[in-house]
Amino acid sequence: MLYPLLRPALFLIDAERAHRLTIDALKLLPHGGPARPGALATEVAGIAFPNPLGMAPGFDKDAEVPDAVLGLGFGFTEIGTVTPLAQPGNPQPRLFRLQEDRAVINRMGFNNGGLAAARARLAKRKRVGVVAANVGANKESTDRIADYLAGIAAFRDLASYITVNISSPNTPGLRDLQGDKELNDLLSAIAAERQAGDPPVFLKVAPDLDEAAPARIVEAAIKHGIAAIIVSNTTITRPQGFSALKSRHAGEAGGLSGAPLRDLAQARLRDFHAVARGAIPLVGVGGIATAEDAWARIRAGASLVQVYSAMVYEGPGLARQITRGLEQLMRRDGFTRIADAVGSE
């Protein structure tokens, strides 16, 4: 309730510094336990989620506050993206609020403290609640497949699931791993290294894909035992015409998220659902800011949904606001379980 009053002052601070202050505040403030299973409880990839709303990676890059995030009412949270070696990321400034557009542009470049530091923090948890790890490759890596295997090895005994992120636009060449041969080589190597008892592996893809991409990505994911596909990351495209960005930061390079991404991410999810036909679960992310947005994504085929940029504008009460609304919408439309609503539009 206080966030709308605090937001103008917070927005006077550089976006990256404000984010750092938010993480520090979450460390200090008391928080309750994770959300309890209720009407929105669902199961995906063998994992029991108390509700289908998650915090997307990028917020808690270094696993500093996963339990505090769960305490805000999220059904799960995904830390990272974490790379094998610590790296500073791209030069600052690299994070921009587009207030008039309710959007964010970032070109962070996988800035993080590395696998060892994140693993040490997760190892100290009591492991209550669903906490996933998102892993990537170092910018200067000469063997990106080895980087992903290192990430999976680091978190295999600590994460509820592990996301292989090949969709960031801010690491040169990373999205090339979405190509047919490159993707199959990566997923084949992951499958060969998996051990009994390992957590499920999710695959995160970009929204900027050609028409044929969803079918071949779904085929490769199923072939190599990927448990779910996350659709999607930020976009390097920009809306045109009537929907063109209005902020003075509109020309900044990087990935665009927030409200302008919503329709593109929704359309891409539909594309994946049309070819997956329930054979592999989908996670919807991109431009979700309200319960109606989340419900539309579920009806379009998402078993789970994630938010991040909307937190910048709506504040820490967003998760409970969305989950309350989701329960009302589910009942309004005659569903008793989230799973029954998936892909029902």
Q: Indicate which residues carry an active-site annotation.
A: 168
339 and 302 Cβ atoms separated by less than 8 Å: no
Distance from CA of residue 158 to its chain's centroid? Answer: 18
310 and 321 Cβ atoms separated by less than 8 Å: no
186 and 148 Cβ atoms separated by less than 8 Å: yes
235 and 290 Cβ atoms separated by less than 8 Å: no
Joined tokens for residue 129: 């609640």
239 and 98 Cβ atoms separated by less than 8 Å: no
Joined tokens for residue 181: 């041969």
Using a 10 angstrom Cβ sphere, with 0-12 exposed, 13-18 middle and 19 or more buried, the burial of residue 70 is buried
DSSP-assigned states of every residue in 262-309 = HHHHHHHHHHHHHHHTTSS-EEEESS--SHHHHHHHHHTT-SEEEESH
